[in-house]
Amino acid sequence: MKRNFIRNKEDFTCVNCGERVEGNGYTNHCPKCLWSKHVDILPGDRKSKCSSPMEPIAVSYEGYEFYIMHRCTACNKIKRNRASPKDNKDALYSLVLS
């Protein structure tokens, strides 16, 4: 399956906390609470029929970057997303320590 990223610049309202998020084409989760939404099959394609909230469940650190692991609350799909410099550091650290 082809894994080319498709950039979609979209603003959205967080499905978990209601924060209004201004997208930059790479934004895939709320910077306040780190929740996401299951909208992609391949990054940026917006082809997932699920559309359920994705809970942040863990953080990993690879190659000088943090990644957030999200699990879909409906279908249990797990996806890894790069953390953003705008992300709430306390929320990130709480996932590291859990």
pLDDT per residue as tens digits for the range 57-84: 999 989 899 999 999 999 999 999 999 9
User: To which H or E segment does residue 5 belong?
Assistant: none
Tell whether the model's pLDDT for residue 54 goes beyond 50.
yes
Tell whether the model's pLDDT for residue 31 goes beyond 90.
yes
Characterize the bridge pairing of strands 12-13 and 53-62: unpaired
Domains in the chain: boundaries: 12-97
Say what the pTM is.
0.89
Higher pLDDT, 26 or 90: 90
Characterize the bridge pairing of strands 78-82 and 53-62: unpaired
